[in-house]
């Protein structure tokens, strides 16, 4: 069975400790001044809202939602909303901190935030989901805003959730400048102001990062094989984008189980199946395998694109892939990473590999602000440019500091933030 997350709050706190540990190591590397370090170790705002929602049965239930605004020195807070039963404050704090590094590294003018609601959207009707999202938006009130804090989708939320948030925000506010506040959220449907290419942006971006790596090592991506954990937004779109580059997907795992077919699994056929069946289990054209077999699959590229803490100390010794492309946030534990690096396995870290989502979110926000519309090829070209520039910066820093790729990514991100803190100072 896939690893289940506990709901007692300890898993989230552990994740935040991991985020702090990674931060401390990178802060040492770039000799970040103590005052900047202490500011960045603590999120600026931690918001918890408890709000009532009427169920279809007429019963009233209280839900708990979170928004953690980690840092906004580089621009408005930006980050996704996670809808899952295990969502807790620790997890949201870790994810918010990672967003700060990601936006800085990507060169988009945003800070870092993250949020969520502890509930399972799959256990609720469409009507209940809508009322939960709208009441959450109302409870957040002025804590979000188009120039202040801009949510986006993450695990369990989607474009429809963003449209409900936008509509609630516009209707509840007193602004006469309503159309101009559509950019209070990104990841919307195209019809309501979303950007072409936003839906696939994270997966497409991961594939661009992989292509950059293969160019660096002078190898052809064509004919390479991959295993993907998670076949949601990131997993599906990275599968499709990698297939366009000639990579064959042979193993897939999600919350319903794991499957394999060495002849290749067609992303389109699997997408149709998961759409109907709710997961990869029961897919005809593959055999069922154990989740541990999945992590030990004989493939070139392993893409964890589901949840955190999957490539652990226990699994890392068995990984046979030579490249880990981190589609998910925090999929590799600190101990797991040490083992992978000792074994010479290349890690393309989450902070770069899944930055495509926030970069195209920035393009959506810009298009809304300018009332303009970019073509898909313009979005993709710009996305590749941003990611390749960030990847070049990381490779240069990795060489200079003789450190891991993740540390180099953090170093680039922290230096940028550190410089702005130095120039702006601390008021008063």
Cite the active site residues: 114
| Least distance in angstroms from the C-beta of 160 to ligand NAD | 13
State the nearest-atom distance from the C-beta of 36 to ligand NAD, in Å. 26
Q: Does 16 bind ligand NAD (CB under 6 A)?
A: no
Among 73, 74, 163, 305, binds ligand NAD (CB under 6 A): 305
Residue nearest to ligand NAD (CB): 232
The first and second tokens of residue 263, run together, are 């002849």
> Mask: binding to ligand NAD, 86-125, rule CB under 6 A, as x and -?
----------------------------------------
Please give the structure tokens belonging to residue 68: 């953690």
Chosen residue from 30, 155, 239, 303 binding ligand NAD by CB under 6 A: 155
Nearer to ligand NAD, 144 or 258 (CB): 258
Binding to ligand NAD by residue 2, rule CB under 6 A? yes
DSSP conformation class of 2: P
The region of 117-125, 149-157, 213-221, 368-376 touching ligand NAD under the rule CB under 6 A is: 149-157
Three-class DSSP category at 356: helix
- Interatomic CA distance for residues 106 and 103, integer angstroms: 5
- Our CA dihedral for 333, 241, 376, 104, rounded to 10 degrees, sits at 20
- Interface residue with ligand NAD among 72, 91, 130, 154 (CB under 6 A) is 154
Number of residues assigned to the chain: 428
Residues 319-358 that bind ligand NAD (CB under 6 A): 327-329, 354, 357
When the beta carbons of 253 and 408 are compared against ligand NAD, the nearer one is 253
Give the helix, strand, coil percentages of the chain, each rounded to 5: 50, 15, 35
Which residue from 249, 259, 297, 306 is in contact with ligand NAD, where contact means CB under 6 A? 306
303 phi, psi to nearest 5 deg: -115, 95
Part in contact with ligand NAD (CB under 6 A); list of ranges 59-67, 71-79, 302-310, 341-349: 302-310
The CA distance from 179 to 400, in Å, is 47
255 binds ligand NAD per the rule CB under 6 A: yes
Strand order in the sheet with 287-289: 287-289, 257-260, 248-254, 225-229, 301-304, 323-325, 346-348
Q: How far is CA 408 from the centre of its chain?
A: 19
Pairing of strands 225-229, 149-153: unpaired
**Which residues are at the interface with ligand NAD (CB under 6 A)?**
2-4, 153-156, 202, 229-235, 253-255, 279, 305-307, 327-329, 354, 357
């Amino acid at each position: 069975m896939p690893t289940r997350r506990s709901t007692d709050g300890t898993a989230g706190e552990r994740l935040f400790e991991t985020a702090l540990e990674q931060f401390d190591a990178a802060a040492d590397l770039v000799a970040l001044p103590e005052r900047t370090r202490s500011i960045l170790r603590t999120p600026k705002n931690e918001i918890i809202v408890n709000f009532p929602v009427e169920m279809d049965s007429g019963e009233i239930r209280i839900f708990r939602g979170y928004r953690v605004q980690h840092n906004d020195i580089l621009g408005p807070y930006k980050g996704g909303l996670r809808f899952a039963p295990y969502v807790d404050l620790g997890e949201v704090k870790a994810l918010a901190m990672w967003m700060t590094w990601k936006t800085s590294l990507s060169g988009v003018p945003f800070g870092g935030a993250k949020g969520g609601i502890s509930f399972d959207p799959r256990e609720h009707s469409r009507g209940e989901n809508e009322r939960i999202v709208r009441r959450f938006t109302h409870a957040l009130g002025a804590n979000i805003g188009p120039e202040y804090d801009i949510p986006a989708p993450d695990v369990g939320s989607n474009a429809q959730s963003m449209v409900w948030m936008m509509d609630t925000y516009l209707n509840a506010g007193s602004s006469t400048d309503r159309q101009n506040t559509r950019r209070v959220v990104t990841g919307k449907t195209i019809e309501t102001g979303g950007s072409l290419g936003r839906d696939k942006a994270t997966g497409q971006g991961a594939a661009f990062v992989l292509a950059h790596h293969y160019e660096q090592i002078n190898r052809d991506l064509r004919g390479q094989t991959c295993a993907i954990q998670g076949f949601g937004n990131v997993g599906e779109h990275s599968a499709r984008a990698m297939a366009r580059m000639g990579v064959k997907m042979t193993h897939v795992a999600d919350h319903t189980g794991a499957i394999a077919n060495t002849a290749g699994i067609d992303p389109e056929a699997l997408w149709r199946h998961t759409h109907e069946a709710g997961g990869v289990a029961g897919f005809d054209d593959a055999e069922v395998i154990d989740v541990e077999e999945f992590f030990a699959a004989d493939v070139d590229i392993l893409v964890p694109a589901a949840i955190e803490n999957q490539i652990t100390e226990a699994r890392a010794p068995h990984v046979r892939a030579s490249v880990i492309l981190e589609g998910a946030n925090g999929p590799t534990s600190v101990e797991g990473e040490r083992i992978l690096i000792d074994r010479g396995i290349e890690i393309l870290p989450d902070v770069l590999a899944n930055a495509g989502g926030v970069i195209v979110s920035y393009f959506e926000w810009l298009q809304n602000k300018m009332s303009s519309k970019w073509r898909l090829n313009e979005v993709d070209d710009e996305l590749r440019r941003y990611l390749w520039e960030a990847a070049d910066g990381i490779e240069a820093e990795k060489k200079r500091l003789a450190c891991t790729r993740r540390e180099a990514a953090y170093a680039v991100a922290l230096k940028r933030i550190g410089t702005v803190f130095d120039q702006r100072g601390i008021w008063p």
